[in-house]
Amino acid sequence: MEPVYQLTNVTKAYSGRQILNIGQLDIYPGEILAVVGPSGAGKSTLLRLLNFLEAPDSGSIYFNQQPVNDQNVPLEIRRTVTTVFQNPALLSGSVTANLLFGLRLRGQNDGQKEVGEMLERFGLAALRRSPAHTLSGGEAQRVALARALILKPSVLLLDEPTANLDPYNAEMIESVIRGINQTHLTTIVLVTHNIFQARRLADRVALMLNGEIVETADTQTFFENPRDSRTRRFVRGEMVW
Amino acid sequence: MLATASSRQVLSLETITTGIIQGLKLFFSGDPALWQIIGVSAQVSGAALLLSAIIGIPLGAVLGLTRFPGRRMIQALIYTGMGLPPVVVGLAVYLLLSNNGLLGPLQQAWIPKLFTVEAMIAAQVIIAAPLVIGYTMSAVGEVSPNLRLQVRSLGATRLQALGATLWEARRGVLVALIGGLGSILSEVGAVMMVGGNIDGSTRVMTTAILLETRRGNFELAISLGIVLLGMAFLINLSAAQLQGKGH
């Protein structure tokens, strides 16, 4: 199976500080890849590169066999990938306006039916007209995820989507992530601090440390029989950061 | 001594009271001279604000959102422009447009002539545009970088992302326009210099107030003052309403 993403020798630095140094990373269609690691490991930077929001300093990124190394990625490719960030950056306006935003960018002005379905699915129907700034953290994160999914992306990038959420909202979001992966075969890259969540959701897990991918393995191997000693320490909870 | 000062005070108060009453009468009677001045003022202010917005909002947005070498220098120039003394602007425009100036002798259709409404608009734009640029720059800079990133992640083109950021910063942009309009409405030095305060042609409210006060025609001066204040109040009230709707 051809990977959706192929990253080779990708580096990224800010103000002279190396943030990413990835030798090789392949991401396959329809999989859920969890990227775990401590804060500052470069996980969020990796997501920005995968979403074509930034370009690598060196190395190559291929997306469906097409090079996407600079910021001039064609719009039709960019629009197949979207990110839900840790802090749900909602636009001012109502919940409905937020869900319609991405559709309107694509020239679709008649998305009320899709919005209605998505609001039902996320338990947000009663909040359809609520201003975004009045929502709780859990509601806002559900809106952010619904706003991404209404665009039917082929790749969904999730940056700590359930951090700081209560168990009810976290479980609902996990259930939706699992559901869209199974029904739409959406490729999902999930950045998480929560190794239990990675274990519950992911097909494969990658450990990032200091901008490098230490190990990538299927979920069972990653947690039960990791190759790298750092991964063993990480999964045992011995790695302090 | 005391009696004289007191009688002067009473006289002054009477003058003001009479001036206000006469001024209101003039305004509501539709006095042609008064309304002609109001018309020219509205024309100059409206055109100057529109041009300042067309120049200032996109430029402010780009300066607020992009990073490039020399940006700080441009920012410093904009901030300097926000505090330009109007008479200096008037002098510069006068020197540029006069027959012996840099642009005047070129005799091109797009170059305004001195002592015309167009010259006054040009001076007003030079005064107001830096304010619109500066305030817009600050307003878009306050939109969360996460939100800007999210907008792009949702598939916005650069132009769409710019539009969405401006929309998110709309209250700050409105303040930019109010600031620009405030400077235009209150300006007197530059428009006097490049417009010449010609009766029936380039006389606006501020220059007319100055002239009528010097002449001792307090009724007309007060009437114009009331209209100017009223206009400023109504514009700011509308802006406050618009800002409130966003919340």
Which percentage of chain B shows pLDDT scores above 70?
Answer: 94
Q: Mean pLDDT lowest for which of A178-187, B14-23, B88-97, B99-108?
A: B14-23
Residue A6 confidence (pLDDT) above 60: yes
Q: What is the DSSP letter of B110?
A: T
| Tens-digit pLDDT profile for residues B179-194 | 999 999 999 999 999 9
E-strand stretches of chain B = none
Q: Which of A106-110, B90-94, B190-194 has the lowest mean pLDDT?
A: A106-110
**Are A94 and A132 contacting, i.e. CB atoms less than 8 angstroms apart?**
yes
Lowest mean pLDDT, pick from B71-85, B111-125, B215-229: B215-229
Residues of A in Cβ contact (< 8 Å) with B155: 75, 78-79, 82, 102, 105-106, 151
Question: What's the CATH code, domain A5-91+153-235?
Answer: 3.40.50.300
Q: What percent of chain A clears pLDDT 70, i.e. is strictly above it?
A: 99
pLDDT in tens, A188-214: 999 998 899 999 999 999 999 999 999
How far B153 CA lies from chain A's nearest CA (Å)? 5
* pLDDT recorded at residue A164: 77
Measure B156 CA to nearest chain A CA, in Å.
Answer: 6
**Structure token digits, residue A101:** 């935003």
pLDDT of residue B4: 45
pLDDT at B6 over 50: no
Instruction: Calculate the average pLDDT of chain A.
Output: 93
Alpha-carbon distance A95 to A97, whole Å? 5
Structural domain boundaries in chain A? 5-91+153-235
Question: Is domain B12-246 annotated with CATH 3.40.50.2300?
Answer: no
Chain A stretch 8-27, residues whose beta carbon is closer than 8 A to a beta carbon of chain B:
none
CA distance A224 to chain B (A): 35
Tell me which residue in B152, B157, B168 faces A92 most closely, judged by beta carbons. B168
* Structure confidence at residue B62 as a pLDDT band (50, 70, 90): very high
Distance from C-alpha of A236 to C-alpha of A223, rounded to nearest angstrom: 9
Q: What's the pTM value of the predicted model, to 2 decimals?
A: 0.82
Burial of B84 (0-12, 13-18, 19+ CB in 10 A): middle
- What single-letter DSSP state applies at residue A194? -
The per-residue pLDDT for B5 is: 45
Q: Which two tokens stand for residue B188?
A: 């007197």
b/e code A155-187 from CB counts within 10 Å (16+ = b): bbbbbbbbbebeeebbebbbebbeebbeeeebb
Percentage, residues of chain A above pLDDT 90: 83
Residue B106 contacts residue B91 (beta carbons within 8 Å): no
CB atoms near residue B146 (< 10 Å)? 13
Closest CA to B56 of B159, B160, B166: B166
For B203-208, the CB contacts below 8 A with 24+ separation are B203/B36, B203/B37, B203/B40, B204/B37, B204/B40, B204/B41, B204/B44, B204/B120, B205/B37, B205/B38, B205/B41, B206/B41, B208/B37
Span B48-64, mean pLDDT? 96
**Please, are residues B195 and B117 in contact by the beta-carbon 8 Å criterion?**
yes
Res A28: pLDDT: 97
Dump pLDDT digits (tens) for A112-131: 999 999 999 999 999 999 99
Q: What is the ipTM of this complex?
A: 0.91
Tokens representing residue A121 in the block = 């699915």
Structure confidence at residue A240 (pLDDT): 53
Residues of chain A neighbouring B168 (CB-CB closer than 8 A): 91-92
